[in-house]
Homo-oligomer: A and B are copies of this chain.
Amino acid sequence: MTETNTKKLHLTAFMRPVSLHTGAWRYPGAYPDANFNLQHLKSFITKLEAAKFDAFFMADHLAVLNMPVEALKRSHTVTSFEPFTLLSALSVVTEKIGLAATASTTYDEPYHIARRFASLDHLSGGRAAWNIVTTGNPESSKNFGRDQHMEHSDRYKRAREFYDVVTGLWDSFADDAFIRDRESGVYFDPDRMHVLDHQGDELRVRGPLNIARPIQGWPVIVQAGQSDPGRQLAAETAEVVFCSPRDLASAKELYADIKGRVVAAGRDRNHLKILPAALVVVGATVEEAKAKRLELDSYVHYDSAIASLSVSLGVDASKFDPDGPLPTELPDTNASKTSRAGVVQLSQTEGLTVRQLAQRYGGYSGLAFVGTPETIADEMAVWLAEEGADGFTVTFPFLPQGLDDVTEKLVPELQRRGLFRKDYEGSTLREHLGLPRPPNRFFE
C-alpha cells in the first residue's frame, strides 16, 4: 500500500441536476425539479466542496435529444440550466472547488468561448475548466442553421484550430499589462497587448480578447474523446481526460496509449490526468449496494428500456419474456460482437432477467463501482496503482442520497487510506490537479 499512499486520486463530479441515470428522478427522496432549482444545486456543490472534490463538471447538450416519444416523455435529461450561467452562479457560493463547463467547438465562436471561460475564471478566482466537445449529436446541427452535421474528421480539424485560437486569445494581455497608474493616467501598457490576427483554414479571428489574462493563465482543458482523433487531440491539448473504459484492462490500454501520445507530443506525462467516468453506488453491504442499483434500474420504464437492449443485442428484445432469463440461443446479427458479448456476460454474472437487463441498458451501463466504502476504495486503489486511472469522474446514481453516500462514506474511507486529500492544496483548479500555469506564448 505504500505506493498508493504517495499517489492520490483526483475526483470530479460529472453532473446533470437530477443525475445522468434516466430512472433517477423517480428514486425515493430524489428532487425531480432540480433542473431549474438552484437551491438543490447549491446544496450539491457545497457538499462536494466539503468533501474536497477537484471539480464540479456540467454535462451538456445543444438540443433536445432525438428519442422515440415514449422514451423522451420519461426523460428528465431533456431540459436544464445552461452551464455558464449555472456555474457562474455556483461560483459565488463556493471558494475552492473547480467549475468545468462543456462548450462546443462546432457550434460556437472562439471569441465567445475564450471570453466566457476567462470571465468565469476571473469570477471564481481561478477555478474554471473547459470541456472541449465537438458535439456528436446530429440533432444539434439543425438548431444552428445547418442541414448536414459536420463530419467527424472535420469537427476534429476545426476543434484543434479552435483550441489554438482560444488559447491565443487568452494570451492577449501579459499578466502585468494592467498598470493602472493614476498619476500618469496610463491604465495599461499597449506593448503588453497582443493582436492575435489568426488566419486559418477554418477560422479567422483578429483579437485581442477584451478581457485580462485568466487567473489560471488558461482555464484547465478537459477532453472526452476516445476515437483516434479524439485521443490525439487530447494528447496534444488536454490536461484532464474524461473517458469511458468498460473495465480495468481496457482502461490500462487507454491510459498507456494516451500517456504515450502525451510524451510523443513533447509534454510531461503528469500534466494530463486520466479520470474514467464511473457510476458509484455505495451500500452498507455489497448486497445492499446491488439492491439499490436494481431498485434504481427498476424506475426505467420497460417501453423505453427495451429499445436500448435491442440495440446492444442487435435483435428485437421485446419478443423475449421480460421476466425470464436472456435466451441462450440468439439469432445472427450484424451488431457489434463485443456489445452482444457484454450483455450475455452481464446476464450470467448478475443473473438478470430480460427486464432487468433492459433497464440496466436504458439507465446506465458503463463502468460502475457498486459496493461498500471498503470494497470500492479497494478497487479504486488498484486502478490507481496499476495505471488504469489518475482518479475518477464520478457519476451519482441518484441525488441527493447517492451523492451523500459518496461524500459521507466513500471519501472518508479514501482519506483514511491516504488515497484522497483531506484539504485542498491550493486555491485554483490547476493547483488541485497539480498542473502548471501555462506560460503566455507572446510575453515573458
Contact A208 B82 (CB under 8 A): no
Q: How many copies does the complex hold?
A: 2
Are B73 and A186 neighbours in the complex by a CB distance under 8 Å?
Answer: yes
On chain B, the residues within 8 Å of A208 by CB distance are: 64
Docked complex: A58-104 residues within 8 A CB-CB of B? 61-64, 69, 72-76, 78-82, 84-86, 88-89, 91-93
Once bound together, how far apart are the Cα atoms of A147 and B204, in whole Å? 9
For residues 171 through 214 of chain A, which have their beta carbon under 8 Å from a beta carbon of chain B?
Answer: 173, 178, 180, 182, 185-190, 193, 203-212
Within residues 200 to 248 of chain A, which ones have a CB less than 8 A from any CB in chain B? 203-212
A212 touches B84 (CB 8 A): no
Which residues of chain B are within 8 angstroms of A80 by Cβ–Cβ distance? 210-211
Is B84 in contact with A88, judged by CB distance below 8 angstroms? Answer: yes
Closest residue of B by beta carbon distance from A202: B145
Interface contact B76-A187, CB-CB below 8 Å:
yes
A118 to B81, CA, bound (A): 8
Is A25 on the interface with B (CB-CB < 8 A)?
yes
Are B111 and A62 neighbours in the complex by a CB distance under 8 Å? Answer: yes
Q: Does A152 contact B (CB under 8 A)?
A: no
Cβ-defined contact, A26 with B185, below 8 A:
yes
Contacts of A86 in B (CB 8 A): 88, 119, 123
Q: A379 in the interface, Cβ–Cβ < 8 Å?
A: no
Q: Does A301 contact B (CB under 8 A)?
A: yes
CA distance A211 to B86 in the complex (A): 13
**Do the beta carbons of B145 and A89 come within 8 Å of each other?**
no
The CA of A203 and the CA of B299, in the complex, are separated in Å by 40
**Bound form: Cα–Cα A92–B123 in Å:** 13
Cross-interface CB contact of A123 among B85, B210, B211, B299, cutoff 8 Å: B85
* A32 sits at the interface (CB 8 A): yes
CA distance A334 to B116 in the complex (A): 42
- Whether B33 lies near A180 (C-beta < 8 A) is yes
Inter-chain CA distance A173–B64, complex, in Å, is 12
A149: B residues at CB distance < 8 A: none
Question: Looking across the interface, which residue of chain B has its beta carbon closest to that of A83?
Answer: B119
- Give, as a whole number of angstroms, the nearest-CB distance from A100 to chain B: 14
Complex CA gap A62/B76 in Å reads: 35
Is A7 close to B, CB under 8 A? no
Q: Does A105 count as interface, using CB distance less than 8 angstroms? A: no
Query: Hey, which chain B residues are within 8 Å of A119, CB to CB?
Result: 81-82, 85-86
A230 to chain B minimum Cβ distance, whole angstroms, is 24
Which single member of B36, B74, B84, B210 contacts A186 (CB below 8 Å)?
B74
CB distance from A135 to the nearest CB of B (A): 12
Interface residues of A in 317-334 (CB under 8 A from B): none
B122 and A190: CB pair below 8 A? no
On whether the beta carbons of A73 and B187 are closer than 8 Å, the reply is yes
Identify 13 new A-B residue pairs, CB closer than 8 A, beyond the known A79-B173, A79-B211, A85-B85: A26-B185, A32-B180, A63-B206, A64-B193, A73-B186, A75-B187, A79-B212, A84-B88, A85-B120, A92-B92, A142-B204, A142-B205, A185-B299
9 CB < 8 A contacts A-B: A32-B187, A35-B212, A36-B122, A73-B190, A75-B187, A79-B211, A81-B119, A88-B88, A88-B89
